[in-house]
Amino acid sequence: MTETKHRNRRLALIIAGVVGALVLAVCSTLFRGYDIKIDNQTIGYTQNTRAFSNAINAQKETVGADRNLDNIIIANKITVKPVLRFNGWTADDKIVSESLSKVTDYDTAGAVLYADNKPIGFYKSQDEAGDALTKLVLATANVQSNDLVVDCGFDNELKMKDETFNIKKLTPSTNLASSIVGVAQANQTKEESTSKISEKLTETVSKIPVEQESAVNKRDTAKTEQALAATGATDQPTAEQKNADESSDDTSVNVTTVKTESKVEDVPYSLITQEDANAFKGSQNVAQKGEPGQAVRNEIKVYKGDKVVQATTMSYTVTKAPVNEIVSVGTKAANTKTSKDGKFLLPCNGYISSYARGSGAHGNGTAVDIANNHGTPIYASVSGTVTKSADENDGYGNCIIIKSDEDSSMTFLCAHMSSLIAKQGDHVDQGQVIGLMGSTGDSTGDHCHFEIQINNVRQLLTNYFDLSEGMTV
């Protein structure tokens, strides 16, 4: 009897166990799923993470394609934890839309360039980091297509690290060069750098030490559905990577470059003057126009950054000789009438068309008109300084006034010129050509109106010259 009771009890326990297991299995099937969180905020509950996983992977592919990056990592914190839920599950399309709106921060695996242990550039690869340094050297030393980098080095301690960082930190390869020599020169180097890379430059850049990212710091970029479903799965950056992302690019790179430079230079021409006895004193004529020559200078230069600290000429070859400029200078003395005391000259040759008649300056003989052909030379009556040489649009027309060297109170005025040769501020010698006869201003024909003034008061010309109307001078 006792044995039968024990058997019945064991059977009951077995049945209860089986029923319990069946109930547990049913509950696990119906109520067990996953809580999906992004940046600690739940976006939904699901029994199948496939839609979420597919959406996340598609998002990474889109971001990578937009930025031409092969390795995109989500920087937002993603957590997928198993849960039992009795209040229903979130629709897959809602989880997908919520995840795509919440995931906004992305990392990539690349190469970080350090100078004196401070990050100065974040690049897709070690090759791109090396290209940035190459452009820096080429731009700072202003390397042209026919130059050669003999030696180069970096005064800072440089190294590269394979790291994962935020894609916002990605640095164009011209940034280092732009920070030193400006955007325009850096971009110019970018266009032509391939043809300028010398063996020495390539060797120097290739010797920069590279540190691999440790296995502990590496993040799995090929997340599968199972990995996302694992408790506590995360895409958070490490502390070291955070420090790198938050560091400022405030360390410049100090470059020393030695290069050979070949450039074409102008060879200046000389100015040769020669006397011309047939031309009046003060006149000049270019008998032969000067042309610069050309030469090739080969130098070796040492640059500190973009500053030349040493330059040595190795050779200098003139490839085209300059043509000297030859200027003929007139020495012929003016053949005009001389004053009674021999100190002054009438300004030109011709006949006296108006003197001591009418009204105004001519009325009492304080001015004379000397007529001749258009373009007749007009000479300086005295050595002195030109105080006026302009067309003031008044009755005088083109007018020149000369203040005497010997007596600063005396000035000599010539008016109505067709062309002004002497300019205000010029010093002229007696007999020098100062202009050409014309009929500008208040004039009825080609002539030169002449006055002598003392302290701005017109003087009687008979005090200085023997003149009469109709006289040829």
Amino acid (one-letter) located at 397: G
pLDDT over threshold 50, residue 324: yes
Measure Cα distances from 85 to 44, 157, 226 in Å: 11, 57, 20
Q: Which range in 252-256, 339-343, 402-406 is most confidently predicted, on average pLDDT?
A: 402-406
Contacts of residue 390, Cβ cutoff 8 Å, sequence gap at least 6? 398, 399, 420, 424
Measure Cα distances from 399 to 31, 335, 422 in Å: 110, 22, 10
pLDDT over threshold 60, residue 378: yes
Which structural domains are found in the chain, ordered by start? 109-257 (no CATH), 262-300+316-330 (2.20.230.10), 334-463 (2.70.70.10)
Confidence of residue 28 (pLDDT cuts 50, 70, 90): low
Confidence of residue 18 (pLDDT cuts 50, 70, 90): low
Q: Which two tokens stand for residue 457?
A: 């008061």
Of 3 and 24, which is predicted with more confidence? 3
pLDDT digits (tens, 9 = 90+) for 335-369: 889 999 989 999 999 999 988 776 677 878 899 99
Measure Cα distances from 298 to 313, 344, 450 in Å: 6, 59, 61
DSSP classification of residue 455: T
pLDDT digits (tens, 9 = 90+) for 418-455: 999 999 999 999 988 999 999 999 888 999 999 999 99
Q: What mean pLDDT is predicted for residues 308-321?
A: 94
Burial track 326-354 (b if 16+ CB lie within 10 A, e otherwise): bbbebeeebebbebeeeebbbbbbbebbb
Instruction: Determine phi and psi for 436, rounding to 5 degrees.
Output: -125, 145
pLDDT at 459: 93
DSSP classification of residue 238: P
pLDDT at 366: 92
Rounded to an integer, what distance in angstroms lies between the CA atom of residue 166 and that of residue 75? 7
Amino acid (one-letter) located at 467: L
Share of the chain above pLDDT 70, in %: 82
pLDDT digits (tens, 9 = 90+) for 220-229: 433 433 445 4
pLDDT over threshold 80, residue 92: yes
Q: Are 73 and 234 contacting, i.e. CB atoms less than 8 angstroms apart? A: no
Rounded to an integer, what distance in angstroms lies between the CA atom of residue 263 and that of residue 155? 28
Q: What mean pLDDT is predicted for residues 252-271?
A: 92
pLDDT at 242: 45
Q: Which two tokens stand for residue 85?
A: 């839920």
Measure Cα distances from 160 to 121, 208, 229, 244 in Å: 10, 7, 35, 12
Of 174 and 248, which is predicted with more confidence? 174
Q: What is the mean pLDDT of the chain?
A: 83
CA angle at 222 for the pair 221 and 223, rounded to the nearest 5°: 100
Q: Three-state SS string across 245-296, please?
A: HHCCCCCCCCEEEEEEEEEEEEECCCEEEEEEEEEECCCEEEEECCECEEEE
Tell me the helix, strand and coil percentages in the chain, rounded to 5: 25, 40, 35
Q: What string of DSSP letters covers 386-445?
A: EEEEEE-SSTT-EEEEEEESS-TTEEEEEEEESEE-S-TT-EE-TT-EEEE-B--SS-SS
Q: What string of DSSP letters covers 306-321?
A: TEEEEEEEEEEEEEE-
Instruction: Determine phi and psi for 129, rounding to 5 degrees.
Output: -65, -40
pLDDT at 35: 93
pLDDT at 362: 80
Share of the chain above pLDDT 90, in %: 45
Contacts of residue 115, Cβ cutoff 8 Å, sequence gap at least 6? 154, 156, 157, 158, 251, 252, 253
DSSP classification of residue 462: G
Rounded to an integer, what distance in angstroms lies between the CA atom of residue 466 and that of residue 339? 8
Q: What mean pLDDT is predicted for residues 306-321?
A: 94
pLDDT at 111: 93
Q: What mean pLDDT is predicted for residues 240-262?
A: 67
How crowded is residue 411: how many other Cβ atoms within 10 Å of its Cβ? 21
Confidence of residue 216 (pLDDT cuts 50, 70, 90): very low
pLDDT at 225: 37
Q: How many CA atoms lie within 13 A of 217 on its CB side?
A: 15
pLDDT digits (tens, 9 = 90+) for 34-79: 999 999 999 999 988 898 989 888 888 999 898 888 888 888 999 9
Rounded to an integer, what distance in angstroms lies between the CA atom of residue 177 and that of residue 348? 68
